[in-house]
Structure 1
Amino acid sequence: MTLEHPAERGGNERDRFAHLAEKSSNFTSSPTFFGLCLLLVGIVIGAHAAKVPMAWMMLAGESMTAVTLLLLALLKNSERRAEHAIQRKLDAIAAALIELQEGEPGPAQRDLQEAIRVEDQT
């Protein structure tokens, strides 16, 4: 377990969790996932309308709770990665502006070019 910022774990290389989080984020923003959520909600409503045993209604409700919790974790991870990418870009822009004021291009220009492509890396 680590308390590091998710975007800073492992340097510029993405770990398995980052790949899984990205694929999950892509799936959860798809029409297929929306359809599955509608189906789950329909099952819960149907379970209440059919007056199925309480155990089945609890299972349906707990499934919705689990999906909600996973989506919350995924949203937070995505938010943190985007926040880190924005901060890197701002830092690179500030450094490039300082170099520009001094009149000589330097490593900040290269850092700025790298930061512009940071979404591909995080």
Structure 2
Amino acid sequence: MIFKHPSDRGGSRNKPFERLAENASRFTSSATFFVVCLLLVAVVVALHLIGLPVKWLLFAGEAMSAVTLLLLALLKNSELRAERAVQSKLDAIAAALLEGQEGRGPGKAHQELRSLIGLEDDS
């Protein structure tokens, strides 16, 4: 089985996983999530301080490990998407520069660059 980069899979960008990953990425980069993480760490520390049985301490540690693993998957997904977006823009810039140096004037590469970076015609 060959795994493709998310942007190479084609199709609609609004697939359920992509929407989930995008929304989770926005939430995990918010101040609210940071506060939730601080509270989770405080709860685990409090569990240790009050001397709960090892069974509960293991459960708390495993819960934190599961959250960490899920966040790692989301982080990698966001990293791959950002990397691909940057690379496609760099490729379009290079193609547009080459097209300009060849003296042909704005052509297909310039149009692609405009669409990638969201430029709109002023006219």
Report if TM-score (shorter chain) is over 0.5: yes
Query: How does the TM-score come out when normalised to structure 2?
Result: 0.87
Displacement of 1:53 in angstroms is 1.2
Q: Is the CA contact 1:40–1:60 (under 8 Å) kept in the aligned structure 2?
A: no
Alpha carbon RMSD of aligned pairs, Å?
1.6
Question: Percentage identity across aligned positions?
Answer: 58
Deviation (angstroms), 1:8 = 2.0
Gaps (5+ residues) in structure 2? Answer: 119-123
Q: How big is the shift at 1:91? A: 0.8
SS at 1:10's partner residue?
coil
Instruction: Name the amino acid aligned to 2:76.
Output: K
CA deviation string 1:41-97 (max 9, x = no partner): 111111111110111111110111111111111111111001000110111011111
Q: TM-score, normalised by structure 1?
A: 0.88
In structure 1, runs of 5+ residues without a counterpart are 118-122
The 3-state SS of whatever aligns with 2:45 is helix
Q: Distance in 2 between matches of 1:12 and 1:110?
A: 22
Moved over 6 A (4+): none
- Relative to structure 1, is the Cα distance of residues 11 and 116 closer, same or farther in structure 2, using a 3 angstrom cutoff? farther
Residue in structure 2 matched with residue 114 of structure 1 by the alignment: 115
The structure with more helix, counted as a fraction of residues: 1
- Mapped partners of 1:2, 1:11: distance in 2: 17
- 1 or 2 for the larger relative contact order (CA 8 Å, sep ≥6)? 1
What is the aligned length? Answer: 117
**More displaced stretch, 38-47 vs 7-16:** 7-16
Q: Take 2:2 and 2:71, find their aligned partners in 1: how far apart are those partners? A: 21
Tell whether 2:25 aligns with 1:25.
yes
Kindly report which structure 2 residues correspond to 1:5-24, keeping only aligned pairs within 5 A, or say none. 5-11=5-11, 13-24=13-24
Q: Which residue of 1 aligns with 2:55?
A: 55
Note the C-alpha offset of 1:6. Answer: 1.3
Note the alpha carbon deviations across 1:13-62, whole angstroms, 9 max, x for none: 33221111110011111121111111111111111111101111111101
Q: Distance in 1 between matches of 2:5 and 2:39?
A: 35
